[in-house]
Structures are given as C-alpha cells and as structure tokens.
Structure 1
Amino acid sequence: IQADATDASALSRVCRGADAVFMCAMATYHRWPTDFFPILDGTVRAAEAVGARLIVLGNLYGYGKNGESPLRSDMPLDPNSKKGTARTIMWQRAARASVPAIEIRSSDYLGHGAISYFSLIALPSIIEDQPVAFIGDLDATHAWTFTKDVARTLVAASRYTGEWGRAFHVPSQHASPNELIRKTAAMLGRDIAETHSYSIPEMEALGMHELIEMTYLFESPLLVDSSDAETLLGVKASSLEEMIADTLRDHL
C-alpha cells in the first residue's frame, strides 16, 4: 500500500481499522528540518482520525552533546544540531497528540536495509579490502542497533500496557568503530592493516557536509541504556555477529 504521509486524509483511509500506526518514514537527510514535519503531522492526524496508538521511530540525536552516557530514555532532550532539533520537535508534536504516543529511539543501524555512517563510509572499503576511514575516535565505544531488533521493539511497544507518552531505547550492542571494522573484515576473511579518522577538512573536501554537525556522536563513548525496554517490552539485542552478517548479505 502506498500513500502520501503528508496527506492526512489519504493516510487516514489507509489506516482505517488500525490499532496502531507506526511512523517510520524517512526524509532526505539534509532536508530533515523542513521535510520531516509535514510527514509527522500527517501521520499524527491520521492516527487521531482513526483512534490508533502512535509509535514513532526516532534516534538519539535529541540528547545532544551534553547527554551523559549511558543515555537513558527518561533523560531530557537538549539538541545541539539542526537534525537533533528536528527530531526533538517531532517527538514533542507526537507527544501532544490526542492519541497515546511512544517513541522508539535507535542508534546507528546495522542489518538488512540499514543506511548508516558505517554502511556508507567504512563498509565499502572493508569489502574492497582497502584502507578504511571513518569518523570520530575510532576507539570510542559506540552503540549499534540491528534493524530487526528495531522492528521487534516497535511491535512490542505497540502492545505496551503501561503509561504512554514516553520513549524506549532499542536494545543495542556496543563496540568501537575499530572493533566493528575489524570484526566485519574478519568475517570476510580480510585483515585490515590501517584505519583512519577523517578530519573536518577532509570531510568537507569529500562533500560530507551533513555529517559534520553529528561527528560529536563518535568523538566519545556513546552507550545506550535499554534496560527499561528489555524489562517492560521483553526485547533483547541480537549479537553483533548476527548484525554484521545481516548487513553483509545486503552488500555481497
């Protein structure tokens, strides 16, 4: 079924009879501050029109640079980027809906269908057995989220019987970029001899302008506390090896 998520009337017809509406649509990365709001607003109005619960797929950008790691889902949002501000406003609008709303927040994606900094920047070089470059501190532990775990968490959240108007973190695995790079290479029978962290001038020269404001996510450890999702929703993180294997199936 296809529908324009900015058209609340059309989306309402598609959603008629639904108990839950999942807002997982994506705007083009550099257009988040303009294009995301009509999508979210149309989805909210459709959920309200049919009386369905609303589950929004979000991320960690809203916590900003000052979010203390490990990040907890009850921490205040304090964005320092335009994309983090867009995500924060989206959740605020969803939370004000006349139907119950929950946000499911993920970190950087691995797995089938994943489009992430890792899949775009590092993975092609790993597959081609070339020197690998990434961003930030390559030895800083980082949270990685499996797309299949995202789906399981979304479904579990739709059945949540506790108080809504809150967020959950998708259970994730933690590894530094270097660990992820070398583990991925090992699964391909490769030995990565060299890794490099792009400087800001290098990122600018390579056209990575939209990534620059988000590099803080990789400059220090980014850990995610998902204990409430594990306890209240009954979901667990898959192994890092399973995440990598599923990612590679998309690219080989």
Structure 2
Amino acid sequence: MARHIVIGKGPVGATTARLLDEQGHEVVVLSRSGGDGSTALDVTDTASLRQATKGAEVIYNCASPLYHRWPTDWPPIANALLDAAESAGSVLVTMGNLYGYGPVDAPITEDLPLAGTGTKARVRIGMWRDALARHQAGRIRVAEARASDFFGPGVTEAGHLAQRMMPALLAGRAVRLIGNPDAPHSFTYVPDIARALVRLGTDERAWGRAWHVPTAPPLSTREAVRHLCRLAGLPPARVGRIPWWPLHLVGLVNPMLGELREVQYQFDRPFVLDSQAYTATFGEVSTPIDEALRATVEWWRARLSR
C-alpha cells in the first residue's frame, strides 16, 4: 500500500482521494482550512509540508487559490510543492488547465506552444516550466494533467455546467449564460480527471510531460442544456446570453469577475480540447457523455432538495 498526498479538498482533490482510497492506498488530504476529511496545513510552510509528505510515493497538486490571487498565491505554493516532492523523492502531479496555450483556432493539443500572454496564462506557464526544468535535471519526476471546464458531482462554482446553469435548469426556468451559446466547447468530467491524475502519478510513461485528460466530444452550451433537460425529464429550457459589458463594469469592483476579461475568448470562440494522445498511450477514454451528465443531474437534484 503506497502513501499518496493530495493537496486541496475541492472537487478534483476530493474525487482523487476517494479513488486512491478505493484502490487501497494510504491517502492524506492537506488543505489550508482543514475539515471535510482533510488536515489543515499551509503548504507554503516548507518545514511542515516536508514533514507531512515524508514517504509519499506521489503528491497531487489539486490546490485552487482564489482566481484573482493567482499571481501572488500560486508561485509560493508551486515552489513549496516542488521542494517537498524533491525532498521526499515523490512524483509530483499537477492539475493544470488550458490557459497557457492562449487563443487558438483549432483543437488544442499538447504539442501546441505555450503562447498565452495573459497574467493567469503566464502564471501557469511559469509553474510548468519550473517543474519541467527540475525533471530534466533529474531532481524530480513530474507530470501535468490539463483539462477544460470541470463538471460533475461536487462541482459547484467552476465552468458553465454548475451554479450558473443547474439550479435554474432544474427549476424549469430559462438559463442565462455568458459567451456564445452556440460555440463548440469542451467539458471535462471530474471523475475522468481523478482517474487521469492517478494514472499520471503511477505510470512512468507519463512523467516529464503534460497530458490532456480524456474529454468527450465538444458540445455548445445550448446543446449541453438540451441534453441535460432530456436526462432530467424536463422540456427544453430557453437559453439566453448575458452581455459582457455589465460583467466588465462590475469587474471594476469585483476582482473575481474582473478576471474574466482575460479568458473571454474561451466563452466566445470554439474552445476544444484534443485528448487523443492520452487515449493512445494509456488506452483510457472519457466517460460517455450521457452517463456523466446524468450523474451531474442526480447530484444537483440531491443538493437542491436539502
């Protein structure tokens, strides 16, 4: 039984921890606030982090700093985890995203350059390059999983298929979303992310590069609403569009909304992830979309009925 450390108790961290536990591993979840089965620890406290990660075979970085604090919060977290993994001799697997690529006009593959120029893109690019430099120097073994918008049980705040949509949809009301509701968009199912993270941590073929998590073929948000309504046994919901200008205006005083300007292209243009390299290497595919969306509907119904 190997020892695995999961950093972060959000949907990805919690789902990854459950999967590892089901596989019979010793699992420790560390989070800043503790609770929900996690141990409280400030991961930037290097001495405490090294003590907590001793003997770990794999460390999974599923931390999630506040969106508008990435430039200040991510670098010390990422550096502390690199140091801890190097000290413990652990594999470090980081949960990443697609920001580093910036706007592209075709499906996003891992061999595209990290050409993003926004603040958050530069943060993620720097994190990966620092990790890869240590790997190439033989000091550590690393891998990064990259996914599109999360959805599934436990996901409340991230992406389209969560708080922005589900309560209204299940109440039979119109759904109002930001961005182009007809642009193809990739959505990545959280259990598929957890499975990929565990694979990347325990299969040496994965180390030294980034991988795109198996993700179903893209849907527009309008198509996603139609599928969700069908699976929920509801008539199709009307889909409306929230214009950008009031969001940008509120963003002047709300830092979280203000950060959306950098990634507006992800909502307005086709945003499609290609995960064929992962599937070809490891033989794993995404969960069938109806199965994933049905589980999402069931989880939200249970949550909203409490």
TM-score normalised over the length of structure 1? 0.92
Q: Does 1:140 find its partner at 2:187?
A: no
Residues 29-80 of structure 1 deviation map (CA, whole Å, 9 limit, x = unaligned): 1111111111111111100110111111100011101x34211112110113
Match of 2:128 in 1: 91
Out of 114, 134, 146, the residue aligned to residue 105 of structure 1 is 146
Q: Does 1:223 find its partner at 2:257?
A: no
Taking the aligned partners of 1:146 and 1:163, their CA distance within structure 2 comes to 20
Q: Percent identity, aligned pairs only?
A: 32
Identify which range, 187-196 or 110-119, moves more after superposition.
Answer: 187-196
Match of 1:25 in 2: 63
1:73–1:168 contact (8 Å) kept in structure 2: yes
The alpha-carbon deviation at position 183 of structure 1 amounts to 1.2
Unaligned runs of 5+ in 1: none
The alpha-carbon deviation at position 163 of structure 1 amounts to 6.5
Residues 93-140 of structure 1 deviation map (CA, whole Å, 9 limit, x = unaligned): 222222011110010011122232211322222122221111222111
Taking the aligned partners of 2:244 and 2:171, their CA distance within structure 1 comes to 24
2:226–2:237 contact (8 Å) kept in structure 1: no
Q: Which letter does structure 2 place at the counterpart of 1:112?
A: P
Identify which range, 142-151 or 107-116, moves more after superposition.
Answer: 107-116
Match of 1:61 in 2: 99
1:156–1:234 contact (8 Å) kept in structure 2: no
Q: Does 1:250 find its partner at 2:250?
A: no
Q: Which runs of 4+ in 1 moved over 4 A?
A: none
Match of 2:3 in 1: none
Out of 6, 9, 14, the residue aligned to residue 52 of structure 2 is 14
Change (3 A) 1:234 1:158: farther
Match of 1:176 in 2: 220
Q: Which letter does structure 2 place at the counterpart of 1:216?
A: Y
Q: Which letter does structure 2 place at the counterpart of 1:224?
A: L
1:153–1:233 contact (8 Å) kept in structure 2: no
Change (3 A) 1:149 1:203: same
Q: Does 1:151 find its partner at 2:194?
A: yes
2:232–2:294 contact (8 Å) kept in structure 1: no
Change (3 A) 1:197 1:172: same
Residues 156-189 of structure 1 deviation map (CA, whole Å, 9 limit, x = unaligned): 1112333732100001112111111121122222
3-state secondary structure, aligned to 1:103: strand
1:135–1:215 contact (8 Å) kept in structure 2: no
1:160–1:233 contact (8 Å) kept in structure 2: no
The alpha-carbon deviation at position 212 of structure 1 amounts to 2.7
Change (3 A) 1:68 1:100: farther
Taking the aligned partners of 2:61 and 2:242, their CA distance within structure 1 comes to 33
Q: Which letter does structure 2 place at the counterpart of 1:246?
A: A
2:225–2:237 contact (8 Å) kept in structure 1: no
The alpha-carbon deviation at position 19 of structure 1 amounts to 1.7
Give me the CA root mean square deviation.
1.8
The alpha-carbon deviation at position 193 of structure 1 amounts to 4.4
Q: Which letter does structure 1 place at the counterpart of 2:131?
A: A
Taking the aligned partners of 2:154 and 2:71, their CA distance within structure 1 comes to 23
Out of 75, 82, 87, the residue aligned to residue 49 of structure 1 is 87
Taking the aligned partners of 2:85 and 2:282, their CA distance within structure 1 comes to 22
Taking the aligned partners of 2:198 and 2:237, their CA distance within structure 1 comes to 41
Identify which range, 145-154 or 202-211, moves more after superposition.
Answer: 202-211
Change (3 A) 1:161 1:189: same
Count residues with an aligned counterpart: 251
2:96–2:145 contact (8 Å) kept in structure 1: yes
Counting only pairs closer than 5 Å after superposition, residues 109-124 of structure 1 correspond to structure 2 as 109-114=150-155, 115-118=157-160, 119-124=162-167
